[in-house]
Structure 1
Amino acid sequence: MKQPHAISKARKRLFIGLISGSCLVVCLFLMALWLVPFIGLDAIHPYAKWALGGVVLLGIGFVCVGYWGLFLNIITKKQILGSKRFRGLTIKLFLPLMVLLGRLIGFEKQHIMLSFISVNNELVLAEAGRYAPKDILLLMPHCLQNSRCDKRLTYDINNCDRCGKCPIAGLLELHDTYGVNLAVATGGTVARRIVVQLRPKLIIAVACYRDLSSGIQDTYPLPVYGVLNERPHGPCLDTTVALDQVEEMLHRFIDPNTAKSGKTISTGQAAQS
């Protein structure tokens, strides 16, 4: 079995390879915008082709600066000038191209999304500072609840008996210990509503790779650190999460000099203390 560090490096290599190819595709496309009508533009104005060429060169320069900034951010794991914009460029421009390019050359979408989540997490670690607990949201999927449990946690997560048969008890303990916001959502629409309601400055989200990648895109520019859930029984049934990894990120992002003031919130609730 591959070690987590080796898996992370492999995902990073895949991401860099695909984003390099995507950057090349964009630059070639921009060059084509100039080369194709090059001869015909003479009929419009003697300098028309050079004006268009200047615009194309500016576009290529923009893409290349974004690419190299992102590349250096990934390699150095440090915040550099324009880090937030590089993450936005990845999410809005490069990711759709990476998925298309990756599928064309035979990579599964799952591997591409996992590489994106891994690199996004490193960018968030480099970009984000420390926050008060009330500004951090632990956003959890409802499938973490034991399927044989009769408690309605999607209505109120505080209904949990903390029996320890699912990760919800451990997450409530993290909420109690660190005072961060804790929310359980049944889907993307509800998750977005919770984010709007609580207005956090940072999200630590647990989900499968599909929901994480779409959630990172939907909430940009809000930084989202993604933690993949574990699915021993298949998708959306009795999933689990490495609580130690969630706690490690809380240590990273919480400002220890601030008060504990987070809330718990579930589907259909108003935020409560």
Structure 2
Amino acid sequence: MEKIPAIETQPLILDGGNSIRPQKRIFIGLLVATCLILAPLLALLWYVPFVGFTNIHPYLPLILGIVFGAFVILVFSGVFLLILTIMLGRDLFISKRLRGIIVKIVFPLLIGVGRLFGVSKAQVQRSFIEINNQLVLAQKIKTTPDKILLLMPHCLQFHDCPVRITGRVENCKRCGKCHIKGLLEISEKYQVGLAVATGGTIARRIIVERRPKVIIAVACERDLTSGLKDSYPLPVYGILNHRPHGPCYDTEVDLKRVEQAVQVFLPTPESAKPSSEASP
């Protein structure tokens, strides 16, 4: 098993694969709390009808206890494997399946559990994004540049820019007033796709048209978590935007981090040639 390629990130990402930063601790902490809440609840569900079940059949309480116990063991095992994947920074051959469970089941559940412990929805969303990224990296995806898509939000464009770039980002005049210029330079340098979306519907249409094998997406917490769920099982590496002027207005992105993410998913230089299956 190979080590996950390192990406230099904000203080939300694993530090060399050996420690867990605060955002991931939130997600894992809520997972453990959920398990600790779930176990006694299942025990109670088993105990309350205990007397009634014995009247039906003397072995029925035992059977129900075994079923509930197996479920609890399964949940705890999943949490353990998830933590192990994050701590080791290695592919345990189940990272893709774990990601599916987290996206479809665990994340919505943790939003509610987070409220019980005073953890805001935004904090859970940020933690979910970091966990998702770790599991995507654990898959050790390598693909040709034409199968990598940089999917950006429209709010990155300078608010007073008269140029329309949602349909064709190459229309950008590269005046340098926003980060679209830098993203174009990354796109051209590595020959990867770049698209700007105004919302989830447009983003989904772009994905269908481009048919990428991996997406590097930039957005706020709400849009990123929504996009991760909508795009599953397609691997999406999420990067939070910066909002120095407030949400949806002249937002920014860490260009260095975007470039590093692109490098992680590219093959070795000698094999980085466009595939014959590339869409026009």
Shorter-chain TM-score above 0.5: yes
What is the distance in 2 between the residues matched to 1:123 and 1:272?
A: 27
Q: 1:15 aligns with which of 27, 51, 60?
A: 27
Q: TM-score, normalised by structure 2?
A: 0.87
Q: Could you tell me how far 1:61 is from its partner in structure 2?
A: 2.0
Bigger drift between 28-37 and 171-180 goes to 28-37
User: Could you tell me which residue of structure 1 aligns to residue 4 of structure 2?
Assistant: none
Bigger drift between 137-146 and 32-41 goes to 32-41
2:42 partner letter: L
The change in CA–CA distance for 1:182 and 1:35 in structure 2 (over 3 A counts) is same
**Offset from partner CA, 1:85-137 (integer Å, 9 cap, x none):** 22222222221222111111211211121111122212222223211112211
What is the distance in 1 between the residues matched to 2:107 and 2:131?
A: 11
User: Could you tell me which residue of structure 1 aligns to residue 194 of structure 2?
Assistant: 182
Q: 1:5 aligns with which of 8, 11, 24?
A: 11
Bigger drift between 30-39 and 58-67 goes to 30-39
1:27 aligns with 2:33: no
1:243 aligns with 2:255: yes
The change in CA–CA distance for 1:240 and 1:6 in structure 2 (over 3 A counts) is closer
**Residue 71 of structure 1 aligns to a residue in which SS?**
helix
The change in CA–CA distance for 1:261 and 1:179 in structure 2 (over 3 A counts) is farther
Q: 1:68 aligns with which of 76, 80, 100?
A: 80
Query: Between the two proteins, what is the percent identity of the paired residues?
Result: 50
**Residue 152 of structure 2 aligns to a residue in which SS?**
strand
2:53 partner letter: L
Over aligned residues, Cα RMSD in angstroms? 2.2
Aligned length: 263
The change in CA–CA distance for 1:247 and 1:6 in structure 2 (over 3 A counts) is closer
User: Could you tell me which residue of structure 1 aligns to residue 123 of structure 2?
Assistant: 111
User: Could you tell me which residue of structure 1 aligns to residue 48 of structure 2?
Assistant: 36
**Offset from partner CA, 1:118-164 (integer Å, 9 cap, x none):** 22212222223211112211110011111111011123212111122
1:258 aligns with 2:249: no
Runs of 4+ in 1 over 3 A off after TM superposition: 3-8
What is the distance in 1 between the residues matched to 2:238 and 2:12?
A: 18
The change in CA–CA distance for 1:210 and 1:32 in structure 2 (over 3 A counts) is same
The change in CA–CA distance for 1:6 and 1:163 in structure 2 (over 3 A counts) is closer
Mind listing any 5+ residue stretches in structure 2 that lack a counterpart? 1-8, 15-20
Q: Could you tell me how far 1:14 is from its partner in structure 2?
A: 1.6
Q: TM-score, normalised by structure 1?
A: 0.89
Judge conservation of contact 1:180–1:261 (CA < 8 Å) in 2: no
User: Could you tell me which residue of structure 2 aligns to residue 266 of structure 1?
Assistant: none
Judge conservation of contact 1:137–1:182 (CA < 8 Å) in 2: yes
User: Could you tell me which residue of structure 2 aligns to residue 225 of structure 1?
Assistant: 237
Judge conservation of contact 1:233–1:239 (CA < 8 Å) in 2: yes
Bigger drift between 44-53 and 183-192 goes to 44-53
**Residue 62 of structure 1 aligns to a residue in which SS?**
helix
What is the distance in 1 between the residues matched to 2:29 and 2:206?
A: 35
1:127 aligns with 2:139: yes
2:184 partner letter: L
1:55 aligns with 2:67: yes
The change in CA–CA distance for 1:131 and 1:7 in structure 2 (over 3 A counts) is closer
User: Could you tell me which residue of structure 2 aligns to residue 141 of structure 1?
Assistant: 153
1:192 aligns with 2:198: no
Q: Could you tell me how far 1:7 is from its partner in structure 2?
A: 7.9
